[in-house]
Amino acid sequence: MFRQRQPLAWLFHRNTSRSPHNLGPPSGPAPMGGAKEYLSAPVLPLGAPRWPDTTLAQALAARFSCRRFTGAPLSLEALGTLLYAAYGVRGTASFGDLQMHERTVPSGGGLYPLEVYVLARAVEGLPAGIHHYAPASHALEQVREGALPPGLLTQLFLRQPYLEKASAVLVLTAMPERSLWKYSDRGYRYLLLEAGHVGQNVNLAAAALGLGSFNLGGFLDQELAALLALDAERELPVYGIALGVPEPLPRDVLRSPAGP
């Protein structure tokens, strides 16, 4: 049983479980503020997303984990479409006096605790470096300019050699207090589930655009947080998604860790 072999996993599951005896009101007041903003950063507006004539069934059939990228650049239009699919704002919804953004993924309580960063290596019209996605304005805020050192992504993501030719890597971070104030410790489950929703949206959108994607659950937490200059007490990296142009190889080779 995993209770004996992975006691921390068992402890997390048990302590975030719900029963009639531990249901209660929110644990505190709602935190102030919504999505993160870099107010003094250079801003690059993204154009409206452009969708190919691909059905959902076709995108589902085309999705796979791509480990072989050509290194060719992504178009800025494609990146903007992927970011909109990931966490874009579709409109607003009214609940009495309360107005909320509607996004492309569900979120527990409509709290949207995630942030999206782009580690850009080769994107047409976008400086190499680190950028933050601003969903409300559908724009990128430049956090750090300049190409990342060779080999850094491979090191950060636990020796995944495929990343060196990825055009960009999306990093999802979580602001846990946005969920925990309402759902207590169980809110941590919800933000991880939400990261999965975002990842699948990106996977399907990439497949529809003829691009490759590769999900990254393993990384050096503290080092990745430091690269993004996160306040480690408030914001945590939780997921990554590599993006790029697939090599012209059979699908079973593209997805194979062993390579051709």
pLDDT tens profile 113-127: 999 999 999 999 999
Average pLDDT of span 6-35: 74
User: Do 201 and 139 form a contact (C-beta atoms < 8 A)?
Assistant: no
Q: pLDDT digits over 180-237, tens only?
A: 999 999 999 999 999 999 999 999 999 999 999 999 999 999 999 999 999 999 999 9
Instruction: Say whether pLDDT at 254 is over 80.
Output: yes
Task: Tell the residue number behind the tokens 């993160």, with chain if given.
Answer: 36
Confidence band of 29 (pLDDT split at 50, 70, 90) = low
Q: pLDDT digits over 39-61, tens only?
A: 899 999 999 999 999 999 999 99
Looking at 3.40.50.300, 3.40.50.150, 3.40.109.10, 3.40.50.1820, the CATH number of the domain 33-254 comes to: 3.40.109.10
Q: How does the average pLDDT of the chain come out, rounded?
A: 91
Residue spans per domain, the chain: 33-254
Confidence band of 94 (pLDDT split at 50, 70, 90) = confident
- What is the pLDDT, as a whole number, of residue 32? 56
Could you give the CA distance from residue 233 to residue 222 in angstroms, rounded to a whole number?
11
Number of DSSP helices (H) and strands (E) in the chain, helices first: 9, 9
- What is the pLDDT, as a whole number, of residue 244? 98
**Would you call 229 helix, strand, or coil by DSSP?**
coil
